[in-house]
A = this chain, B = another copy of it.
Amino acid sequence: MYPEKELIARIRGRFGEDRSLAGPGDDAAIVNLPEGVSLVLCSDLLVENTHFRRSLHPADSVGFKAVAANVSDVGAMGAEPAYFLLALAVPDDLDPSWIDLFFDGIDEACRRFGVRLAGGDSSTAERVFVDVAMAGHVPRDQAVGRHGAQPGDGVFVTGSLGSAMLGLQLLEDGIRDHPAVHRHLYPEPRHRLGQSVRSRASAMIDVSDGLSTDLAHILEASGTSARIDREAVPVAPEVDLTMALHGGEDFELIVTAADLPGEFEGIPITRIGEIIEPDPRGRILIVSGSSEQVLEPQGWQHFQ
């Protein structure tokens, strides 16, 4: 067994000091080019039967999500997503209509998010592999990482949480015609919002692994804890609090800042708590009335 975490730890151990990252663990790397621009680079690998099933996920959703996940990662740094490369491996006997539909999804994501396919590579394989590597850009020193949260900052969340997880559950139950399923299949990254709050944000991350896990990433990188108001968490319709706290792939943003406006382009921005000094009990304390509990990150295994 070679779990992803061990693999990542091994890579960090070897290349960590030599890497030009904003902070270790950011989803996207920030690199400075001599010409005076900061590039934001990230990639997202989708493997059939690990991240999606051909029987469950329409091909256009696979293409769309591969692009959207990267747009979200770039946007969560406050950067503007621009170009991407696509590496695609498909089985020899794959129905060409799958490929066509896959590219419908890529195409739709390009138009919706203003990004462009710049090139890539292809091969054959027993299972479908999709790797999208994206380059975005941001004025130098203006990218937002995970490590800048300060005690006293508010913790803000965009939109509402949990519907992507509900959508996956519904999809597994054979239900397709539901807004949450649509949100699971065709997520809306908040890259424009991320750019708009860039100058105010002390730290930012997108919710790909769930609020509890992704907020913990900010807190670990920043060396702080957070106190979250349970009643303030924006729970999506039909979703229970557990899904909202731990469900992944919502692609909303968690932003820490002194203050933020209440909405951006119709997307609510909700203050759910505040950054506090590191607490010996845990990274995230969740408050409901007079009770205060530690919220453990539960991770999110995407699809298995």
Contact = CB atoms under 8 A, between A and B. Distances in A.
Contacts of A116: 18-20, 31
Interface string A21-42: 1000011110101111101011
Interface in A105-152: 106-107, 110, 116-127, 129, 131, 133, 135, 137, 139
A123 B50 contact: yes
A87 to B, nearest CB: 4
B137 A29 contact: no
A110 B11 CA distance: 14
A91 interface: yes
Contacts of A19: 116-119
A89 B129 contact: yes
A20 B118 contact: yes
Interface stretch (A92-100, A153-161, A188-196, A271-279): A92-100
Contacts of A110: 18
A41 B103 contact: no
B2 A117 contact: no
Contact of A122 (B4, B21, B29, B39): B4
A236 interface: no
Contact of A83 (B41, B87, B103): B41
A45 interface: yes
A243 B153 CA distance: 65
A99 B1 CA distance: 13
A14 B102 CA distance: 12
A42 B119 contact: yes
A3 B124 CA distance: 8
Interface in A54-98: 82-83, 85-94, 96
A2 B92 contact: yes
A57 to B, nearest CB: 16
Contacts of A82: 31, 33
A229 interface: no
Contacts of A120: 11, 43
A83 B118 contact: no
A43 B21 CA distance: 20
Given A1-B92, A7-B90, A35-B35, 8 more contacts: A10-B100, A15-B103, A28-B119, A31-B82, A50-B125, A85-B133, A87-B87, A126-B127
20 contacts: A1-B93, A2-B92, A2-B124, A8-B122, A10-B96, A11-B103, A18-B116, A21-B118, A31-B82, A31-B135, A33-B82, A34-B137, A35-B37, A37-B37, A41-B85, A42-B85, A45-B87, A47-B123, A126-B127, A129-B129
